Amino acid sequence: MTTVPVPVPLPVRSRVADLAAVQIASWQQGYLADRSAAVAALARLRRGAGRTAAEMPDLWSLVDTGPLHERDGERRALSEVELTRAEDALYTACTLWALHQQSRGARMHRTHTREQPGGLGAAVRRLMPPNDIDEPVRGRLVRAATASTPLVLAQRLRDIVVLLRRADIPLDYGLLAGQLYAWQWPGGPEAVRRDWGRSFHSRPAARHAGENTPPATAITDTASDTDLKDAS
């Protein structure tokens, strides 16, 4: 008998994406304005990058998951599975953004638009020279896309974020949070891989003002470090 995969609850994915975007935008605004509370929040959040929410209980009071529990209008109460997966996606996106934003004077969370794609694939493509494919960098995206568990996925995304941070290339973390939620459902990894691949091939590489090209040695060094610590 063939088992039909349970589809991703799209309204919940949208709630996760919207909540991540709102919280990160608020922290980002405060951080760039050098507000002490936001600076302290970023310092705490970035320690959780590449780790699960369960490993970082000190962040539970920092990331506001309250809106996920709200039930008003058309919003129904989430099941325990939905809630757990939504919280994990939110924590992962917020902590990765904090790592990305650290010591950067420009917005590292930027909303995706057609004119300025903010998806992960497009961001990785901008790490490469125009009209050329950097295989070690592309391999980063492939490794993330083929992660076997949420923890491995978070670790491999962390390595990509380090490269994006060095090059001052922003990412839409609301979009990523929604994808991280979708990834946890049956058929989700395949759907997210398609999203990232489509984003990667959406248009020729184009670097925006203020973006720096990371040195090739940085990419090589990061790759070797990750291969040693991530043996999944």
The fold of 10-229 is: Peroxidase; domain 1 (1.10.520)
Q: Facing residues of 171 across strands?
A: 109
Each of the 232 residues of the chain gets a pLDDT tens digit; together they read 555 555 555 589 999 999 999 999 999 999 999 999 999 999 999 999 998 888 888 888 899 998 888 876 666 788 999 999 999 999 999 999 999 999 999 999 999 988 888 999 999 999 998 878 889 999 999 999 999 999 999 999 999 999 999 999 999 999 999 999 999 999 999 999 999 999 998 764 445 545 554 443 333 333 333 332 333 3
- Cα distance between residue 20 and residue 192, in whole Å: 18
Which CA distances in Å does 200 have to 8, 101, 112, 151? 23, 22, 13, 23
Residue ranges of domains in the chain: 10-229
**What single-letter DSSP state applies at residue 114?**
S
At 85 the pLDDT is 95
